[in-house]
Structure 1
Amino acid sequence: MKKGIIGKKIGMTQIFDENGKVIPVTVVEAGPCVVVQKKTEQNDGYEAIQVGFGDAKPHKISKPLKGHFEKADVAAKRTLREFRMDDCSAYNVGDVIKADTFEVGDMIDATGTSKGKGFAGSIKRHGNHSLRASHGTGPVARHAGSMGAISDPSRIFKGKGMPGHMGHERVTVQNLEVVKVDAENNLIAIRGAIPGPKGGVVILSDSKKA
C-alpha cells in the first residue's frame, strides 16, 4: 500500500462527465486525518502508520488512549486505523492527510461495515429457492429444505446456508474509480456504491488488483 485515508460516507448522487453521460457516485468526506503513530521495520517488524479521524471528546476516551494521543501530541480522535505501507518514511507523527492524497482516475478499494438486516431466513440471506405456496405445502413455503442425508454423513456440513444474523459485517469493494476530488471541502466522489449506511466510517486505500 502506498496511501490510504479514513472517511465518512455522505451518500450517493450523480454527476455528468464532459460528454453529458451520467455517473452514479458515492460522496465520502475523506479526512482530514492525523498520523498518530508510525511503525518501522526496526522497531515493530513492519512498516505502517496509525491514522486518526474525527474529533472525540476527551472525557469519552479511555486513559490508555488518552496517554497514546498525548504522547503523539495530537487531539483525541474517534476512529483509529492502521495502514501498512511499502515505505512510510514520507510520513511523520502529526502529519495531516487530506482528500487530495488521491487524484481523479485513481483506482481504490473501499472498506466499511455493511448495513445490518437483523435475523433473516435462508431465502433472503442466501438466495435459496422457496417451495410452492399452495397444494398442501402448508405454512413452510419459506423454510429451509433438506439439511442433508440421515444415515451418512449423519450431520450438517459446516457452511450450510441457514437462517441467522444478516449484514453488519466488514465488506470491501475493490477497483472503484475516483471521479472527483474536492480538496477544499475534503470530499471524494467515487464511482458506484460502497458499503455501509450514511454517516458510516469507510477506509479508502490503493487498489490491490488494479
Structure 2
Amino acid sequence: MTVMWDDHGARFPVTVLQLENCQVTANIKTVRKDLSEYHAVQVAATDRPAKTATKQMLGHFKKAGVDPKRIVKEFPVTPDAHVPIGTTLSAVHFVPGQYVDVIANSLGKGFQGTMKKWNFKGLRASHGVSVSHRSAGAIGAHQDPGRVWPGKKMAGRLGGVRTTTQNLAVIRVDSALDLIFVRGCVPGIDDAHVMVRDAKKKMISVARVNHAKGDFDKLLPKGILGLPFPAGTKEMAKELPSVIEAPTHRRSPFLPIS
C-alpha cells in the first residue's frame, strides 16, 4: 500500500496490484439444464517452473500454447466477449475511474476470543465480574432448550477465509509495469494472488438496471466513455500512454458553498 493525492491536494490510500503475465488459456462454453448457455474466459497468471506443475496442467498449458502458470481462474462473459487463446492481458484492461471487486484469502489471525472475533463488548470491568472481563458470558438457555443453539457466536479461528472487498475505484494504470492502483485496501498478505473483477454491485447490477430503463448514458460510471472490448491487450497498450490516471470527481473544499 501507498498514498496518493488528488487534484485538490487530498491524501488517500491506494493499493498497488501487478499483472504477472496474465494470459488466456481457454474459452469455456457449456449448456445448462435449462438449455441456457454459460460463457467464460479462463485466465492464468504468474509463470512457474514446469517441474512443479502436474502433468494434467502441463498438457492444458501446452494445448493453449502458454508457459505453465501458478494460478488459473475463469470469468463469466457474454457470448461475444471471448478472447483468442494465448492473448496476454495488460493493465489497460482496467480503466481509471471504474470500480472493481478484489477477492483473496484474508489474513489468518489464529484462535481468537469473542471480543476480537465477533466484536462483543465484554463484561463489566468492576462490581462482581472478577477476572472475566473478556469472557463470552453464558452460552446456554436453562433447562429449556437445555443445549447450545447451533450457530452460537463463540471463540474460534479468525481469518484465513475467502474475502471480497467491493467497489474499489481504479485510480491509475501503468501499462509499462502492468500496475493497477486501486483506492483503499485489499484482503490477503503481501505478494499474495488476488482476483480482480468488475464490481458486481456498482457496475454490473447498475448497468443492467439502467439498460432495462433505456438509460444508455448511465451504463458506465461517471467520466468513463467505454471499456476495452473484449479485453485490454498488450497490443492495445502500445497505442495508449504508459500511465493513465483518473481525474477526481470530488468537489474542491476551497470553493464556497452555494
TM-score, structure 2 as length reference: 0.72
Q: Distance in 1 between matches of 2:123 and 2:8?
A: 49
Query: Are 1:34 and 1:96, in contact at CA under 8 Å, matched by a contact in 2?
Result: yes
Letter in 1 for 2:58: K
Instruction: Report the CA distance shift for 1:161/1:88 in structure 2 as closer, same or farther (over 3 A).
Output: farther
Structure 2 match to 1:4: none
Q: Distance in 1 between matches of 2:20 and 2:79?
A: 21
1:185 aligns with 2:177: yes
Instruction: Report the CA distance shift for 1:23/1:173 in structure 2 as closer, same or farther (over 3 A).
Output: same
Larger Rg: 2
Which is further off, 188-197 or 31-40?
A: 31-40
How far off is 1:90 after superposition? 3.8
* 3-state SS in 1 of match to 2:189: coil
How far off is 1:177 after superposition? 0.5
- Report 1 or 2 for greater relative contact order, CA contacts < 8 Å, sequence distance ≥ 6: 1
Structure with bigger strand share is 1
How far off is 1:154 after superposition? 2.0
Structure 2 match to 1:40: 29
Structure with bigger helix share is 2
Question: Gaps spanning 5+ residues in structure 2: where?
Answer: 203-258
Structure 1 match to 2:43: 51
* 3-state SS in 2 of match to 1:153: coil
Letter in 2 for 1:146: A
Q: Distance in 2 between matches of 1:90 and 1:132?
A: 60
1:61 aligns with 2:50: no
Query: Are 1:32 and 1:99, in contact at CA under 8 Å, matched by a contact in 2?
Result: no
Query: Are 2:19 and 2:45, in contact at CA under 8 Å, matched by a contact in 1?
Result: no
Q: Distance in 2 between matches of 1:88 and 1:51?
A: 17
Instruction: Report the CA distance shift for 1:89/1:177 in structure 2 as closer, same or farther (over 3 A).
Output: closer
Letter in 2 for 1:204: V
Query: Are 1:49 and 1:88, in contact at CA under 8 Å, matched by a contact in 2?
Result: no
1:23 aligns with 2:5: no
Question: Gaps spanning 5+ residues in structure 1: where?
Answer: 1-11
1:108 aligns with one of 100, 103, 106: 100
TM-score, structure 1 as length reference: 0.88
Q: How does 1:107-186 map to 2 (within 5 A)?
A: 107-186=99-178
Letter in 1 for 2:94: F
Q: Count the aligned residue pairs.
A: 199
Percent identity of the aligned residues?
A: 38
Letter in 2 for 1:38: N
CA RMSD of aligned residues (A): 1.9
Q: Deviations over 1:57-110 (max 9, x none)?
A: 111111111111112121000111111112354402111111110111011111
Which is further off, 186-195 or 21-30?
A: 21-30
How far off is 1:150 after superposition? 2.1
Q: Distance in 2 between matches of 1:172 and 1:82?
A: 16
Structure 2 match to 1:93: 85
